[in-house]
Every structure is written in structure tokens, then in C-alpha cells.
Chains A and B, each alone.
Chain A
Amino acid sequence: MAGLVLRDIRKSFGSVPVLHGIDLELASGEMLVIVGASGCGKSTLLRLVAGLEEPTAGAIELDGRDVARLDPAERDIAMVFQNYALYPHMSVFDNMAYALKIRGLSKADIAARVRETGEMLGLGPLLDRKPRQLSGGQRQRVAMGRAIVRHPKLFLFDEPLSNLDATLRVTMRAEIKRLQRRMGVTSLYVTHDQVEAMTLGDRLLVLHKGRAVQLATPMEVFERPADTYVAGFIGAPAMNFLPGVLSHGGTAVTLDLGPVLVFADGRRAVADGTRLTIGIRPENIAADPDGLELQVDLLEPLGSETVVIGRLPNGELLSVKVPKAEAPTERMTIAFPAAHLHVFTAETGLRLDP
């Protein structure tokens, strides 16, 4: 098993920079998920590692060897594509065997390895079928099998679940996680889906406009987002943001709405009067008879819970998640518990910790 190191990877298409210097280190056997909105450069980063694009600058080390200028074939990396990219004219068996044939393995070895992998993925009875005779989930499995059968040093996944329907996506997600654990292969997984990112990754890399904004475990990203972009991107429904200024010697924020919230975790070491953005997740907002009034605009029942979208006295929209039984009809009064506040500097959007 191998580790992967990226050093200051930059990529421009013509004069358009797409990646502005990405540094990354993956431990052997780790699953790292790259997540971001479309156009953030996540697919480009994956293709650079695959060798399908050449970086403008920077080094890619696999197992201690710089592979940045090598052909994909020489890197010993396997990739699962978004649309699977199965060879339409070859049977499932031949699809999985193709890379092994090119490597010049013996017929017997190839057959043994393909059958073993096929069994593992439950593809045994399908080995003679053509891709067009398979369902979406089966194709997805073949695409995985084609990658696994090679015993590569590194797995790359390019949004492999985005072409599946919702139920199948959940099943395959679990299956990918189980397989990856079992095989212990270092993996890079690209997705725009935050649920996939949270559930699959040992760590997440959040990309925004070609820059790495946060690299941390899923829970850390959720609990301590590095900036307002990450805070808004991870979590559903999205975090609420309220403007305010630092006051009381850095120990509290005075919201533009009026209320003063005292920080639970201590004093911020910048000058009073600094503009802040306060983030609070909808599920953390509490009902409070003495709190701010929220005029109900829309109710979105999710089943056991209901999302209330309402208007604050100044007209701003705010979403609150409440248990079904507590869903208001016209108005509710709310408070922002100090323990759940995320504090960001308004100017830069960066997290401001004590």
C-alpha cells in the first residue's frame, strides 16, 4: 500500500488558473474525499493525479516516487468514472481483464483474478454479459471491479454514484466504504454531494475556486468549519448567517438585529467594533418565549422534523429545524444558544476562534 503526496500543485488551462497550489498528504490506506461545488477544480485535481492532465507546476509523489510527468499507464492507478466508461463491445469479463492483458499476465492468472474479484462484487453470474445488458447498479459494480482487479496502488473515484437513483446510491455508498476498508487501498474520492463526503471520507478536502479551504475529518469540518463558505456548504439545511459587531471587550457580539450574544468559548483577541458574521445551524436554534419573533413564511415537513423558514423583524430569512410536534403555524419566538455559535470575520469570511 502506498501513500500519496501532492506538493503545491498548480494547473492553468491557457491563461485561466484552475488550481492555485494544492498541498496534500494521504496516509497509506486512507480514504480522502474531495468535495466542492461544480467548477471548483476537484475533477481537475483528480485527473492530474490520474495522469490524464499534466500539472502546470508541482509534484505528485506516489510511494515516494514523483509521477507527475508519467503516463497514466506507468502510475499503477485505477479510476472509477462517473459514467462508468465500460467498453461497450466487451463482456464484463473482458472489461475487467483488459488492463491485465495489456500487462501481459497469463490467461490463467487473468481468469483467476477476474473470477475472484467478480465473486467478491457479486458479479459471478454476469461475467459473460455485455454492459448494455446490465442495470445501473451492476454497471457501477463492474466499473469498481475493473479498478479492483488490478490491485492498484491508488483508487480514484470521480463522482461514481451521481448516475444512480437515490436508493441505489445509499446502498452503493455503503458498499464502496466496506470494500475500501477491506482492500485497504489508498483512495481519492471526488463528489459534490455533502452526504457522500461526510459518510465516506476518513478526511475531507473542501475545495473552493481552486483553493483548499479546509482539510480535516468530516466531524471537524462540520463542527468547526474554516470559513463561511465551508460552513454554508456542509450541512443541510444550510447554516444561517447573521451580521453583527464584536463588543464587550471581545467577549460578545452585538447582532445588527439588536440582541447581544455572549460567547461561550471565550474572548476574541481583536478590537471591539470588528464586523463579524455569526453562523448558527437551523437545528441549534432554540424556541424561547422571551426571544426574537419569527414570522412563519414556509413550512417544510421532513417527517419527524419540520424546517421552519421564517422572517426576522428586519425582514431577513432564517431557517429553524424543530421537532414535528413543535412546528408553529404563524409565528414562533427563538433564541441563539451561545454554545452553538460559529464566529467568522465578516471581511475575510475566516473563522475567528478565541
Chain B
Amino acid sequence: MNGRTDWTAHIVLGLGVLLFALPLWLVLVASTQDPAMIGRGELSLWPGGGFSVYATVLREGSPGVAPVWHLLLVSFGMAVGIAVGKILISVLSAYAIAFFRFPCRMLCFWTIFFTLMLPVEVRIIPTYAVMAGFGLINTFTGLTLPLIASATATLLFRQTFLAVPDELVEAARMDGAGPLRFLRDILLPVSAANVAALFVILFVYGWNQYLWPLLVATDSRLDTIVIGIVKMIGTGDTSIEWNRVMATAVLAMLPPVAVVVLMQHWFVKGLTEGDK
């Protein structure tokens, strides 16, 4: 305002940036240093020792944990699988509920809505039992499928679809478009920004899962990177190779952070307009 520099704002925001950037910097620095030195708490503030540790963890990982490239692969498969799967079935169910009238429509809606109140955390034990009954323990399907059902995404798409002007639908009908063609040619392109935003949110959601993979996949070949990292720390004693842990942490953060930063504009819009 009035062309004066707002120093208070710069100081507060600068401190805020440091609050997040500094720890990240330390993690990056620690990954390049000698594990024994870190173990003694003699961490320097500048990288030293080179970045060869990244090649090492990607290839070998740590004792008792799969190599990091494999962890990344599982995480990536899980995150993409969950994001794409959720978007697919949520678009279809939201389309059905918003654009048609069929028997038990509201029952379907409320059934889906109700699961909003049943996050995986509150029903881990019984869900685990059901999964065991289906023989899905220690399978990739078991890792992803139960997380694909989504009340949140369905509600979000329903809201988006309800906001599409009636005239647009009518114009398409006058032009001769049936329901499938309308979905493909008009509705999905018009909602592309929402789909993109939701993809970011769900990719991060899938990537960051911890409890569910911990339960359902005890086989180390299905370890995600988040699981792998917690395994590496174990109980946190000093014999840990901290540089490897930190390098793995950097690699674990990189993909979701990159997705969020690169798609920041869409992501923020999608997150705040959909409420949750």
C-alpha cells in the first residue's frame, strides 16, 4: 500500500518459509554426510561428501528393507492406482446421481455419503478381517482396492456436476448428444480442472498412506516408501545409517511435493472449492 515496503509481512512470511525450508535443508545436508558424524550430532549446515548415497539407497536400500527404487515403484503404483481408480468410479457414480432419476437413487447417495464417517483408521481391525476373508492380504489389489471407494470424491464431483448450467445440458441434447456422448464430449472436458485438482489431492493421499499398507502388506516386496522409511528408523537407536534414512526421506518427499508445486494453481482451487 502507498508504495511502501511492508516489512512486517516480509519478516513474518520469511520466518514461515524458514520454518519449513530449514528442516528440509537439514535433511538434504544430512543425507550427504558421514553417518557416524550425524550419529554424534555433529551435523554441518553445508552439504559434504557428495550425493552418491542416493545411488546407493536406490540400488540397495538399508538392511531389512527393499531397495528404494522398489519402494518408490510400489508407492507410485499405489498412488496412481488409487487416484485414477477413485476418480473413475467417483465420476461415474456422481454422474449417475446428478443426471439421472433411478430407483433407490437417494439410498445410493446416502450410502456413499455415510462412508464419509468411516475413514479407514476407525475400522482397521474389521476391514483387515474382511480382507483376509477375500484372500487379499499381501496383494497389490488389497493395498489399493479398499482405498478406491470414495465418498469425498463422489460428493465433490456431484457438486461440480450440479453447478454445470442446465442450458449447457439442454444445448447438448438439442444438438443430439446422448448421455454417454454428453459425459465424454462436454461434461468431462468442462470439469477437467476439477479432475486435475482431485488427481493431485488423491495422489498425495495415496502416496502418504501408512496405516493401511502396514496392516495389509506384511510382505516386504509390497513395502511403500513411507513404510520403508519407518522400518529404517526402527526404534531410533544410534547404529542407524542416518545418511541413508535422510536420502530416502528426500526421495519420499520429492514426487508428491513436485506434483503439488507443479500443479499448485489447480490444486489449491480444487481443494478449497470442494471443501476437503
Contacts and interface: CB of A to CB of B under 8 A. Distances in A.
A and B interact: yes
Contact of A102 (B165, B168, B177, B189): B177
B105 interface: no
Contacts of A52: 170, 173-174
Interface string A18-51: 0000000000000000000000000000010011
A77 B177 CA distance: 13
Contacts of B174: 50-52, 72-73, 77-79, 99
A81 B167 CA distance: 7
A83 interface: yes
A64 interface: no
B173 to A, nearest CB: 5
A81 B189 contact: no
A85 B167 contact: yes
Most buried by B among A79, A85, A103, A146: A85
B170 A81 contact: yes
Contact of B190 (A51, A72, A84, A88): A88
Contacts of A51: 173-174
A126 to B, nearest CB: 19
A89 B170 contact: no
B42 interface: no
B186 interface: yes
A335 to B, nearest CB: 51
Given A77-B174, A79-B174, A89 B189 contact: yes
Nearest to B191: A89
A98 interface: yes
Contacts of A88: 190
Contact of B177 (A47, A73, A84, A85): A73
A72 B173 contact: yes
A102 B185 CA distance: 11
Where chain B touches its partner, the secondary structure class is helix
A102 B190 contact: no
A88 B190 CA distance: 7
Nearest to B186: A87
B53 to A, nearest CB: 47
B12 interface: no
A85 B171 contact: yes
Interface string B139-168: 000000000000000000000000001011
Nearest to B173: A72
Interface string A63-95: 000000001110001110111111111100000
Contacts of B186: 87, 89
Contact of A82 (B167, B173, B189, B192): B167
Contact of B176 (A73, A87, A90): A73
By size class, the interface of chain B is 10 to 19
Interface string A214-230: 00000000000000000
Most buried by A among B165, B172, B190, B192: B172
A85 B216 CA distance: 49
Contacts of B265: none
A52 B189 CA distance: 23
B175 interface: yes
Contact of A87 (B168, B173, B192): B168
Contacts of B167: 81-85
A89 B168 contact: no
Contacts of A47: 170
A79 B170 contact: yes
B181 interface: yes
A77 B176 CA distance: 10
B187 to A, nearest CB: 10
Nearest to A75: B174
A273 B174 CA distance: 56
A146 B167 CA distance: 14
Given A83-B165, A85-B165, A89-B192, A102 B175 contact: yes
B168 A85 contact: yes
Contacts of A87: 168, 171-172, 186, 190
Contacts of A77: 174
Contacts of A73: 173-178
A334 B189 CA distance: 66
B56 to A, nearest CB: 48
B181 A102 contact: yes
A50 B173 CA distance: 10
Contacts of A72: 170, 173-174, 176
A132 to B, nearest CB: 12
B170 A102 contact: no
Nearest to A88: B190
Contacts of A146: 171, 175
Contacts of B181: 102
Contacts of B189: 89-90
B191 to A, nearest CB: 10
Nearest to B168: A85
B175 A99 contact: yes
Nearest to A74: B176
B94 to A, nearest CB: 19
A98 B175 contact: yes
10 nearest CB pairs, A to B: A85-B167, A99-B175, A73-B176, A85-B171, A89-B189, A102-B176, A81-B167, A72-B173, A85-B168, A72-B174
Interface of B: 165, 167-168, 170-178, 181, 185-186, 189-190, 192
Given A73-B178, A78-B174, 6 more contacts: A51-B173, A85-B167, A89-B190, A89-B192, A99-B174, A102-B177
